[in-house]
Amino acid sequence: MNISINNSKENHSDEKTKSSSELRQDIVSGDWVVIATGRAKRPDEFGNVQRSQDDKGIENCLFEDPVASGQEKDVLIYHRADGDWTLRVFPNKYPALSPGKSIKKISDGPYLSMPGVGYHEIVVTRDHYKQLAIMDVMEIAEVFDAYQDRYLEHMSKKNVNYIAVFHNHGKESGASIPHPHSQLMAVPVVAPYIKLELDGAAKYHKSNKECVFCTIVEHESQEGKRVVFENDQFIAFCPFASRAAFEVHVMPKKHSPYFERITDEQKIKLAEVFGKALGAVYKALNDPPYNFYIHSAPCDGSDYPHYHWHIEILPHTSTWAGFELDTGIEISTIQPEVAAEYLRSQL
């Protein structure tokens, strides 16, 4: 994205008021966002909305007893000491992509396509009414453990070059089944957003001889004003150029391109920081719809030493409208510093 801003003519910094708008640049992608606090509400007003109640309850839930409801066979299941299951993973019954041998590109005139080859799995936790935002540290750590287990299973497969792990909560965020579940999609192509981040990270490293994400982690931890919660190994913060109100990123403090190499001890540290951050979003915004996803280096056989894996939590506080779709510039209606302060106050 190329937007030139002429700020040499006048310096408006003295005139900055609470209601002024600001363009901020994402240090990784180079993209600009608008922080338009002129339209803003007070932080506590974001949660002051009626949430849609479309959950038909556990009697009609397909994930209470996945076997009885005709889901695919489990590929992973964790049990409690008393025998009941706590988490299970099975292939999506209606996969966006299916296993197949060939990803040979097919040309159709000037166009290219390839078969929809890949793996699409569902990660379901036991309790219908217990979303990740209200789970305890060990329950969250178990979810990350399952993500890692399935990631490792798929990453070495032929035709798998990228693995997306994501979670939708709430109808407005795309969750069609209210029972808490995450999804894993192993795909033959590297996702465009990851490509942007890989390119941005490589470029930053070339000019600064440093990982851009390590730079962010160090700066955020030192400055503190956008931090939601941190421990010795992970940090959760509202990004300087947040795309949406109350966006939170969770990053390991120690440089690592690859989520799948996380240790058991790190999973617990991650679960603590992630749980606090998601819990704060849940409380601050009154159980909002949200998406979160893991961004990790592709598993396409190349090395990505300058990438740094992380999780992005994106609460659904507004709908993309013409301006966003037209330009790719997103408008956030609260300063990330104010959002972080409000999230901290929920802990």
Is 247 strand, coil or helix? coil
Give the separation between CA 254 and CA 208, rounded to whole angstroms.
Answer: 18
> What mask, x for binding Zn ion by CB under 5 A, covers residues 288 to 307?
-------x------------
User: Is the CB of residue 76 less than 8 Å from the CB of residue 117?
Assistant: no
Of 179 and 267, nearer to Zn ion (C-beta) is: 179
Stretch that binds Zn ion, among 32-40, 64-72, 80-88, 276-284 (CB under 5 A): 64-72
Helices (H) and strands (E) in the chain, counts: 6, 15
Give the separation between CA 122 and CA 90, rounded to whole angstroms.
Answer: 6
In this chain, which of 128, 171, 225, 344 binds Zn ion, going by CB under 5 A?
128
In this chain, which of 23, 30, 55, 61 binds Zn ion, going by CB under 5 A?
61
Give the separation between CA 331 and CA 338, rounded to whole angstroms.
Answer: 15
- Report the site for Zn ion in 12-51 (rule: CB under 5 A): none
Per-state percent for the chain, helix, strand, coil, to nearest 5: 30, 25, 45
In this chain, which of 120, 179, 226, 267 binds Zn ion, going by CB under 5 A?
179
Please give the C-alpha separations between residue 271 and each of 108, 145, 246, 249, 277, in angstroms, as whole numbers: 47, 10, 19, 13, 10
Of 42 and 254, nearer to Zn ion (C-beta) is: 254
Q: Min. distance of Cβ 125 from Zn ion in angstroms? A: 10
Q: Min. distance of Cβ 155 from Zn ion in angstroms? A: 18
In this chain, which of 22, 25, 55, 64 binds Zn ion, going by CB under 5 A?
64
169 binds Zn ion (CB under 5 A): no
Stretch that binds Zn ion, among 75-83, 108-116, 123-131, 135-143 (CB under 5 A): 123-131
213 binds Zn ion (CB under 5 A): yes
190 binds Zn ion (CB under 5 A): no
48, 52, 57, 58: CA torsion to nearest 10: -80
DSSP per position, 140-173: HHHHHHHHHHHHHHHHTSTT--EEEEEEEESGGG
Stretch that binds Zn ion, among 137-145, 147-155, 211-219, 325-333 (CB under 5 A): 211-219
> Where along the sequence are the contacts to Zn ion (CB under 5 A)?
58, 61, 63-64, 128, 179, 211, 213-214, 255, 295, 308
